[in-house]
A and B are shown apart, each in its own frame.
Chain A
Amino acid sequence: MKANESLDDLTINNLKKKANMIRKDIIEMIYSAKSGHPGGSLSSADIVTSLYFHIMNHDPKNPSWIERDRFILSKGHACPSLYAALAESGYFDVSELKNLRKPECLLQGHPCTKTPGIEISTGSLGQGLSISTGIALGLRLDGSSSRVFVLLGDGELQSGQVWEAMMAAPKFKLGNLTAIIDRNMLQIDGSTEKVMALEPLKEKLKAFNWQVYEIDGHNIREIIETINEGLKITDKPKIIIAHTIKGKGVSFMENNVSFHGKSPTDEEYKIAMKELEASS
Chain B
Amino acid sequence: MSGFGVPRDAYGEVLSELGETRKDLVVLDADLSSSTKTSSFGKKFPDRFFNIGIAEQNMIGIAAGLATTGKTVFASSFAMFAVGRVYDQIRQSVAYPKMNVKIVATHAGITVGEDGVSHQMIEDISLMCALPNMKVMVPSDTFETKKTIREISKEKGPTYVRLGRSKVPNVFENEDEIKLGKATTLMEGDDVTIMASGVMVSKSLEASQKLKSEGISAGVVNLSTLKPIDRQGIINSAKKTGCVVTAEEHNVYIGMGALVSSILSEEYPVPVLRCGIKDTFAQSGDYELLMQLYNLTSEEIYKLSKNVITMKR
Known: A124-B92, A164-B57. A130 touches B26 (CB 8 A): no
**CB–CB B52/A120 < 8 A:** no
**CB–CB A113/B61 < 8 A:** no
Tell me which of A141, A142, A168 contacts B62 (CB under 8 A).
A168
Q: Interface 1/0s, chain B 22-66, versus A by CB < 8 A? A: 000010000000000000000000011010110101101111111
**CB–CB A138/B70 < 8 A:** yes
Closest Cβ of chain A to B89, distance in Å, is 6
Q: Which residues of B contact A167 (CB under 8 A)?
A: 53, 55, 58
Residue A165, interface by CB 8 Å: yes
Among B95-103, B118-126, B265-273, the stretch that binds chain A is: B95-103
Q: Which residues of B contact A164 (CB under 8 A)?
A: 52-53, 55, 57-58
**CB–CB B61/A127 < 8 A:** yes
**CB–CB B89/A127 < 8 A:** yes
Identify the closest chain A residue to B30 (Cβ): A164
Q: Which residues of A contact B55 (CB under 8 A)?
A: 161, 164, 167-168
Closest Cβ of chain B to A108, distance in Å, is 10
**CB–CB B92/A130 < 8 A:** no
Closest Cβ of chain A to B250, distance in Å, is 26
Most buried by B among A122, A141, A144: A141
Identify the closest chain B residue to A168 (Cβ): B58
Known: A160-B57, A161-B57. A130 touches B98 (CB 8 A): no
A136–B62 Cα gap in the complex (Å)?
A: 9
**CB–CB B65/A130 < 8 A:** yes
Q: Interface 1/0s, chain A 29-49, versus B by CB < 8 A? A: 000000000000000000000
A244–B111 Cα gap in the complex (Å)?
A: 52
Identify the closest chain A residue to B56 (Cβ): A164
**CB–CB B93/A121 < 8 A:** yes
Residue B88, interface by CB 8 Å: yes
The majority secondary structure among interface residues of chain A is helix
Residue B147, interface by CB 8 Å: no
Closest Cβ of chain A to B70, distance in Å, is 7
**CB–CB A138/B71 < 8 A:** yes
**CB–CB B52/A131 < 8 A:** no
Tell me which of B64, B70, B96 contacts A134 (CB under 8 A).
B64
**CB–CB B97/A130 < 8 A:** no
**CB–CB B57/A131 < 8 A:** no
Residue B69, interface by CB 8 Å: yes
Task: Give residues 117-133 of A contacting B (CB, 8 Å).
Answer: 119-124, 126-133
Known: A131-B93, A167-B53, A168-B52. A120 touches B58 (CB 8 A): no
Closest Cβ of chain B to A41, distance in Å, is 20
Residue B68, interface by CB 8 Å: yes
Identify the closest chain A residue to B50 (Cβ): A137
Q: Which residues of A contact B50 (CB under 8 A)?
A: 137, 172
Residue A135, interface by CB 8 Å: yes
Q: Interface 1/0s, chain A 73-84, versus B by CB < 8 A? A: 000000000000
**CB–CB B88/A139 < 8 A:** no
A3–B34 Cα gap in the complex (Å)?
A: 44
A141–B67 Cα gap in the complex (Å)?
A: 12
Q: Which residues of B contact A136 (CB under 8 A)?
A: 65
Q: Which residues of B contact A138 (CB under 8 A)?
A: 26, 65-71
Most buried by B among A70, A126, A134: A134
Closest Cβ of chain B to A40, distance in Å, is 18
Closest Cβ of chain A to B95, distance in Å, is 10
Closest Cβ of chain B to A77, distance in Å, is 13
**CB–CB A130/B71 < 8 A:** no
Q: Interface 1/0s, chain A 83-119, versus B by CB < 8 A? A: 0000000000000000000000000000011000001
Identify the closest chain A residue to B52 (Cβ): A168
**CB–CB A141/B68 < 8 A:** no
Closest Cβ of chain B to A57, distance in Å, is 16
Q: Which residues of A contact B69 (CB under 8 A)?
A: 134-135, 138-139, 141-142, 144
**CB–CB A113/B97 < 8 A:** yes
Q: Which residues of A contact B99 (CB under 8 A)?
A: 120
A2–B69 Cα gap in the complex (Å)?
A: 25
Closest Cβ of chain A to B238, distance in Å, is 38
Most buried by A among B26, B69, B96: B69
Closest Cβ of chain B to A149, distance in Å, is 13
Q: Which residues of A contact B52 (CB under 8 A)?
A: 164, 168
Residues of chain A touching chain B, judged by Cβ–Cβ distance below 8 Å, are 70, 112-113, 119-124, 126-139, 141-142, 144, 160-161, 164-165, 167-168, 172
Q: Can you show 12 pairs from A to B with CB atoms below 8 A apart? A: A124-B91, A127-B92, A130-B64, A133-B61, A135-B68, A138-B68, A141-B69, A161-B61, A164-B58, A167-B58, A168-B52, A168-B55
Give the top 6 A-B pairs by smallest Cβ distance, nearest first. A134-B65, A130-B61, A138-B69, A164-B58, A134-B62, A164-B55
Identify 17 new A-B residue pairs, CB closer than 8 A, beyond the known A165-B61, A167-B58, A168-B55. Answer: A70-B68, A120-B97, A121-B92, A127-B93, A130-B57, A130-B58, A130-B61, A131-B64, A135-B65, A135-B68, A138-B67, A138-B68, A138-B69, A141-B48, A161-B58, A164-B57, A165-B62
